Structure 1
Amino acid sequence: MIFVTGGSGLIGSFLIPALVAQGHAVRALYRRQIPAIDSAARVEWVEGDVLDGLALRQALEGVTHVFHCAGLVSYAPQDEAALQQTNVEGTANVVDACLDRPGIRLCHVSSVAALGSHAAAADLPAGAPQLVTEDAKWDLGAEHNAYATSKYLGELEVWRGVAEGLSAVMVNPSVVLGPADWERSSTRLFRYAYNEHAFYTPGNINFVDVRDVVDAMLHLTLRTAVSGERFILSGGAVPLHDFLAQAAACFGKKAPSVAVPDWAAEVIWRAEHVRSLLTGARPLITKDTARAGRKSVEYQSQKVQQVTGRGFRPLAETIEWCCRNVKQNSLGSGAVVVY
């Protein structure tokens, strides 16, 4: 029996059908309503929340493996408390529930954000990217956004569990791409390209196909006994403009053509911050999103490729798959929500 949290999210909505297709018995947590995903009818759904430790303990009866995919992704200042609750306290509850049932194996979905902020190395040539591996150290003296901090502290809860005897592995995906609700998370990048926005910010985007994320999670958790290790999942890095241009071309739309200079981005996020304070509305751009990608960073995935023996899909294939499915399931039907 395999237990999954976060089944309505991008990763969870592809992980659950993959588990069912392999013949596994799946039990999954949901909060408000059972998500409309493939194979949902073949899943044992349990209503609850990762903040409810007692419900988690009950849900893990008879379970052998846990995939903890539930998490909050947000850079809005209003969500700092929610990030702490979901990504840190929720993960602590999952770890404690696993520890109460010896023999359970946990796969925790973290993020490359948990690897910390990375200043350009002084000895790197101008413009050369900094290559980041799983050995990156969290700089306690550096400034980190609330989301990154919450994912780092969530990882510490898993490390605590490992120290207490839990068999656990962690995956650190970069920007996960897949055909889902383009009003949420990274899939909004495709909506941005489809709407033919003219502006883009300089910088790189590290990406990974959601199917590759699921494949790696299944292999690491079910086919190996590796424990107390984390694995970066990233298919590569490209300039954000190139990504948006490829997505726009796939939709038959115009690519963005106006680069937003750093000074303009700084002005915009400050104006948005003031507007959100005055109106209570969520900012369209924050300090963290305005500054994302300015430092040239590439996350290295050789470690997971050596363990699994598998590579990652090229960006062009992922973009074509995402655009085609968004067209079929969202644009053609007049609905935006797929999962």
Structure 2
Amino acid sequence: MILITGSTGILGGHLLVYLLEKSEKLRLTYREGSDRESLKKRVLFENPALEAAWNTLEWVPAALDDIPQLELALEGVETIYHCAGLVSFDPRDRDQLLKVNWEGTQNLVNIALAKGVQTFCYASSVATIGGITETVSEEDAWDPSRTNLYATSKYLGEMEVWRASQEGLNTVIVNPGVILGTGPWNSGSGQLVPAVANGLRYAIPGSSGFVGAWDVARCMLRLVREQQFGQRYILVGNHLSYASLFAKIAAAFQAEGMQEVRAPSKQLKSWHLELLWRLDWLGARISGRKRRLSRDVARSLTRKREYDASRIREVLNFEFEPIDAVIERSVRAYLNASNP
């Protein structure tokens, strides 16, 4: 039995497709209110032949702080792909970030050890690696002074996974860059494609590392299958500026006949972001709404950093999908989701 947490997210959904194609026996945890119908549509868009396989899925309602339900979910499980997590950069979400990404992972590995689970694959983030050098590798030290609350919570989750590995659990950690794939389109990096479709006006000044969700899922499956335990792996296939990313997304829409979609015509400067996060802080204080742009995020958006993914390339002899192909697949999936 294989368990996936976070199956309705951008990564969990792609992992689910590959495992269904292999006819694996699957159990999925979900939170109250999770959009399983949208997940089904995404799965069948990827492979329409999986309709029958979808009906074999075993669903267990279990939040990461619900110990009794997690114990039920892990009964008879051999392998866990832990993709669930909270993404937020609002300082007011500090307690919830720690509760989900740190304590939730702690709960999961503790129960996995107690239940005799054999393998644990944890989807973390490149945000937990380095912070000092411009080219980041898996060996770079953690620098808490140059990070944000989200990265800290994921790093603490990693520490729980490493601790479990010392207690006998076979573990592997993947650290993807910005993930692009087939939705969901209302959260995290899934919002990038609809932002351009809806007329995004300003590009961001920095750059980052990007990767297709298909590649992340394939790497996770192969690392487990080939028993590459006790390591972490940066998963970044392409580096480019946000301005270039938005231009490529717009070009993909135009290739699908949507000539009205244009890349942002203006680019924010660093001082714009410094002003915007202060205005956002003030607006949140007055209205009580959630923060949209924190100081840490604003400053991270101006960085130009590259990630060394040579370890995964060498260990698995792996080649990442070109970014143009990733964007084209993502845009087609978004258009499919937008047309019921």
Q: Which of the numbers 161, 182, 185 marks the counterpart of 2:185?
A: 182
- What is the CA RMSD across the aligned residues, in angstroms? 1.5
Letter in 1 for 2:244: D
Normalised by the size of structure 1, how large is the TM-score?
0.91
Deviation at 1:136, TM superposition (A): 1.1
Q: Which of the numbers 156, 165, 169 marks the counterpart of 1:166?
A: 169
Q: Tell me what 2:217 maps to.
A: 214
Letter in 2 for 1:236: N
| Cα deviation code 1:123-152 (max 9, x no counterpart) | xxxxxxx22111111124x24210010011
The secondary structure found in structure 1 opposite 2:88 is coil
The secondary structure found in structure 2 opposite 1:95 is helix
Letter in 2 for 1:305: R
Q: Tell me what 1:264 maps to.
A: 272
Deviation at 1:103, TM superposition (A): 4.9
Deviation at 1:33, TM superposition (A): 4.8
Letter in 2 for 1:21: E
Q: Tell me what 1:193 maps to.
A: 196
Distance 1:54 1:156 in 2: 23
Q: Which has the higher helix share?
A: 2
In structure 2, list runs of 5 or more residues that go unmatched.
Answer: 44-52, 255-260
Deviation at 1:233, TM superposition (A): 0.7
Deviation at 1:325, TM superposition (A): 1.5
Letter in 2 for 1:279: S
Structure 1 stretches (4+) deviating beyond 6 angstroms?
none
Distance 2:287 2:294 in 1: 15
Deviation at 1:303, TM superposition (A): 0.7
| Cα deviation code 1:156-176 (max 9, x no counterpart) | 000110111111101001001
8 Å contact kept, 1:200–1:240: yes
Q: Tell me what 1:232 maps to.
A: 234
User: Does residue 1:288 correspond to 2:299, yes or no?
Assistant: no
- When the two structures are aligned, how many residues end up with a matched partner? 320
Q: Tell me what 1:131 maps to.
A: 135
Name the CA shift for 1:99/1:216 in 2 (closer, same or farther; >3 Å). Answer: same
Q: Tell me what 1:30 maps to.
A: 30
User: Does residue 1:46 correspond to 2:49, yes or no?
Assistant: no
8 Å contact kept, 2:209–2:238: yes
The secondary structure found in structure 2 opposite 1:56 is helix
Normalised by the size of structure 2, how large is the TM-score?
0.90
Letter in 2 for 1:31: R
User: Does residue 1:13 correspond to 2:16, yes or no?
Assistant: no
Distance 2:305 2:99 in 1: 29
Deviation at 1:196, TM superposition (A): 2.2
Q: Tell me what 1:152 maps to.
A: 155
Letter in 1 for 2:87: V
In structure 1, list runs of 5 or more residues that go unmatched.
Answer: 121-129, 334-339
The secondary structure found in structure 2 opposite 1:160 is helix
Distance 1:40 1:276 in 2: 42
Distance 2:288 2:130 in 1: 30
